Amino acid sequence: MSTVVLVSDNENIKTSVKRNLVLLRNSDRFLSVNGLNAQDALLTIRPDVVIFHYDGNNRQEILTTIKKIKSGDVFGGVSLMLLLDKICREFVIEAFDYGVDDYCTVSDDFSELVIRVLNAVKKSDLKSKLRELKGQMSLFNILDAGGNFYTNAVAEEILARELQKEDCGEKLSYMITGPDEEGKNFYSDGLMSEVILKSVRGTDLVFEKAGGKFAILLRGGVDTAITVFEKIKSALPKEMTIKAGILSVCDKKADEIVQKASSAFNLAILENSDYKIYLEKDSSADDWLKDEVGGKGEQTFKLFKNVFKQKINNVISPVFYRFQKAYEDKFDGVKVAQFANEYESIFRVSDGENESRLTIISPKFSKVILATTHSGLESPENSTKELSLNQVSVNGISEITEEFIQDFLRRNQYI
């Protein structure tokens, strides 16, 4: 049984709609209520479709009722319509932003209203089924508690499956967005979630991540991601500042996409930019540093030693500090620390039983040594590798640090 309710104070409109409206089944019913009592009446009736009659003077009354309907879980998959005495474009757009699904006018042929109401009934049925399915997916930690976003636990797998479906070209982009250090003081997860839901389309995928961050796979290129970010940013209070890391998804694997978007996000915070687009080739000021250099004497060694100090101060330490702040309170029992002097820089993650260290030590001419050491039960083997100085960039060190932390969290079953 489906229930259609007309909210109107006009008795002629009520009579006309009731006389002309044709529903699908004998068990379906049509009811009408006055605008003043609409909220209480709708709570009692629990309709499948609500038609709001707009006479030009009851704008705020309708919007208040719509907001009440959309703010809770009581009304489930209800579909909302407007029946207008005359077209008011501004009100229609505003009502759609509040959650209205469709509209028609009193002057339209009644077949128009009948078709739209029947479609609304079908849409309400689909919404209810989808709502039930989302509830089941939340129970299995596939979706968040609200049933709106994929959880971090399944994010990479869902992303990988989605990439397999696409001959992407330039059609997809990926964005990680969340609060910066100042924005965390005013951050509201509920508000951020609400704004994101209003800013994305049904074909976009949204993943909930730790630390108030969200990842979004968007149908469209980098320009689309920037547009969506600007829309989200403009809808938030000015003090709730956010940043974003963005990249094109073309020809990339899921883990690579997440890692590079995270690097771009961290770079945006480090440079205090609204957003950063990940570029495959770093346009570094250190391009003059080559792996093969001549004149490996005392003067050359001092030159590279001085450059390495600058790298510690301007690149490595800021990146390590950013990751320390980002992860130090995320997981119970996990401690994150970093240390630097003129010879080395160390990033450490531990949980009391296991410890991993990422150490970057002084250069060997144009090379630096990257050492990963582990201790604890069932620790993996330690490893070292060389990097050229022109690889020691914010993007490069951010990627390495992110991968190092994620590896520790996976191995010790925190994610």
Place 55 in a pLDDT band, splitting at 50, 70 and 90. Answer: very high
Distance CA 413, CA 334 (A): 12
Q: Which of 15, 31, 21 is nearest to 115 (CA)?
A: 21
Amino acid letter, residue 2 = S
Q: Report the Cα–Cα distance between both ends of the chain, in Å, rounded.
A: 45
Share of the chain residues as helix, strand and coil, in percent rounded to the nearest 5: 45, 25, 35
Q: What is the mean pLDDT of residues 284-288?
A: 46
Distance CA 259, CA 163 (A): 16
Neighbours of 26 (CB within 10 A): 7
- What are the backbone dihedrals phi and psi of residue 353, each rounded to the nearest 5 degrees, phi first? -110, -30
Q: For position 166, what pLDDT does the model report?
A: 54
- 13-17 long-range Cβ contacts below 8 angstroms, 24+ apart: 13/53, 13/83, 13/106, 16/110, 17/51, 17/83, 17/113
Distance CA 126, CA 329 (A): 41
User: Taking a C-beta distance cutoff of 8 angstroms, is the pair 177, 216 a contact?
Assistant: yes
Q: For position 299, what pLDDT does the model report?
A: 52
Q: For position 253, what pLDDT does the model report?
A: 87
Q: For position 24, what pLDDT does the model report?
A: 59
Q: For position 139, what pLDDT does the model report?
A: 84
- 192-201 long-range Cβ contacts below 8 angstroms, 24+ apart: 192/236, 192/240, 192/242, 193/146, 193/148, 193/149, 195/232, 195/235, 195/236, 196/232, 197/148, 198/97, 198/235, 199/228, 199/231, 199/232, 199/235, 200/228
Indicate whether this model's pTM tops 0.85: no
Place 291 in a pLDDT band, splitting at 50, 70 and 90. Answer: very low
Q: Which of 298, 300, 256, 295 is nearest to 278 (CA)?
A: 256
Tens digit of each residue's pLDDT (9 = 90 or more) over 372-392 = 988 865 666 788 888 887 788
The order of strands in the sheet holding 3-7 is 29-33, 3-7, 49-54, 79-84, 102-105
Tens digit of each residue's pLDDT (9 = 90 or more) over 133-163 = 888 888 888 888 878 899 988 888 888 888 8
Place of tokens 């705020």: 60
CATH of 152-277, one of 1.10.3720.10, 3.40.1410.10, 3.40.50.300, 3.30.70.270: 3.30.70.270
Tens digit of each residue's pLDDT (9 = 90 or more) over 8-28 = 999 999 999 988 887 656 778
Place 288 in a pLDDT band, splitting at 50, 70 and 90. Answer: very low
Q: For position 62, what pLDDT does the model report?
A: 94
Q: For position 380, what pLDDT does the model report?
A: 66
pLDDT at 293 over 50: no
Indicate the fold that domain 3-139 takes in CATH.
Rossmann fold (3.40.50)
pLDDT at 264 over 80: yes
Place 393 in a pLDDT band, splitting at 50, 70 and 90. Answer: confident
Most distant CA pair in the chain, distance: 98
Tens digit of each residue's pLDDT (9 = 90 or more) over 182-232 = 898 899 988 999 899 989 988 899 999 877 899 999 988 888 999 999 999
pLDDT at 403 over 70: yes
Q: What is the mean pLDDT of residues 233-258?
A: 90
Per-domain residue ranges of the chain: 3-139, 152-277, 298-411
User: Taking a C-beta distance cutoff of 8 angstroms, is the pair 331, 344 a contact?
Assistant: no
pLDDT at 259 over 70: yes
Neighbours of 220 (CB within 10 A): 17
- What are the backbone dihedrals phi and psi of residue 3, each rounded to the nearest 5 degrees, phi first? -120, 125
Q: How many CA atoms lie within 13 A of 39 on its CB side?
A: 13
pLDDT at 296 over 80: no
Give the mean pLDDT of the chain: 84
Place 333 in a pLDDT band, splitting at 50, 70 and 90. Answer: confident
Q: For position 46, what pLDDT does the model report?
A: 87
What share of the chain has pLDDT > 70, as a percent? 89
